[in-house]
Amino acid sequence: MRVMGKLKLAIVYGAICGGCDVSLVNTGEKLADVLEKYDIVYWGAAIDGKADMLEKLDKIDVAIYMGTVRTESNLKYAKLIRDKADLVVAYGACAVYGGIPGLGALMEPEEIMKIVSSTVTTESKEEIDLPEELKLPRILPTCTSLVEILDPDVMAPGCPPGPISNDGLLKVLIDYAAGKKPEGKIIFGEEQSLCHECPRKPKDLSKIVMPGIYRLHEIKLEEGKCFLEQGILCMGPATRAACDMPCIKNNMPCIGCMGPAPGVDDVGLKYLSAIASILLVDKEKELLENGLARHLDKIVDPLGMFYRYTLPSSYITKLSIKRRKKRG
């Protein structure tokens, strides 16, 4: 590792919406202090340059990857940073877990392209024969997080990452510039679920009773009371405590962007089992007569709800990929 002069920092994109960039830039002066010690050798949003600049670099000290790995080009640059950078950071829910673009993980690429093409409005019906370098990169058979592709050293979850991830990352960058590389893998946040830190948590988390399943517009929310106790789906029980709870504090339930709580392999399965064990547990007779399914049917888009940020790493996606490979 270099100890003299500035270090080389590259910020590289996969399939990204831009929110990660905004979050990083919003750290303001703190980021400016860190950048005293780094030369930005690549960052699409901040410096003029083309992606092949990365290929020309011999070595990068730190690479921050934002976004999901969705196209051949995303994959190429993900592998390239692992080869060239000493420290790789997966920044944001998409890089760490697959995120919102990861919701396409179960669809065939052709299906996705069909939907995208149907939204493009053009007068011309002619196929334009573009030179190779101007063509859109081909999309991969499925959508993957950076974590599934390579082994990042640091993971900063969040959609977008909030103060816990950002402060943690900036500290890692400062330490690294001072010659201290993190020992082992780092994921920012606490080793517990969001419920444990939530100001709305009931006295006894193990005694939550869900009175049914409602959508936000169907009830008048009681501020300060646990969402689950009001029948609103809140992903707190299955989500890592790694944010300063902007949603909860603004009277909105957690949607799980910090990824799985420690010990949770599959967010959707964990959440479904949590819901099944608290839904109408005080109304045994009704459950025996009508069953649980009638109530669970009220969940609109269960896959999108339970796996909003983690579909690529779910068992269901892994199974589907296996089946697709078998079919050839």
Instruction: Give the residues lining the site for ligand SF4 (CB under 6 A).
Output: 194-195, 198, 200-201, 226-228, 234, 236-237, 248, 253-254
Least separation in angstroms between CB 140 and ligand SF4: 34
> Which residue in the shown chain puts its C-beta closest to ligand SF4?
236
Least separation in angstroms between CB 223 and ligand SF4: 11
Task: Select 17 or 221, whichever has its Cβ closest to ligand SF4.
Answer: 221
Distance CA 128, CA 32 (A): 44
Distance CA 285, CA 232 (A): 22
Task: Select 100 or 195, whichever has its Cβ closest to ligand SF4.
Answer: 195
Least separation in angstroms between CB 197 and ligand SF4: 8
303: exposed, middle or buried (C-beta count within 10 Å: 0-12, 13-18, 19+)? middle
Task: Select 186 or 255, whichever has its Cβ closest to ligand SF4.
Answer: 255
Distance CA 241, CA 72 (A): 33
Which residues, 6+ apart, have CB-to-CB distance to 8 below 8 Å?
38, 39, 41, 57, 59, 60, 61, 62
Least separation in angstroms between CB 62 and ligand SF4: 33
Least separation in angstroms between CB 196 and ligand SF4: 8
Task: Select 106 or 234, whichever has its Cβ closest to ligand SF4.
Answer: 234
Which residues, 6+ apart, have CB-to-CB distance to 44 below 8 Å?
11, 13, 51
Task: Select 96 or 254, whichever has its Cβ closest to ligand SF4.
Answer: 254
Q: What is the SS3 assignment for 274-320? A: HHHHHECCCCHHHHHHHCCHHHHCCCCCHHHHHCCCCHHHCHHHHHH
Least separation in angstroms between CB 248 and ligand SF4: 6
Task: Select 152 or 253, whichever has its Cβ closest to ligand SF4.
Answer: 253
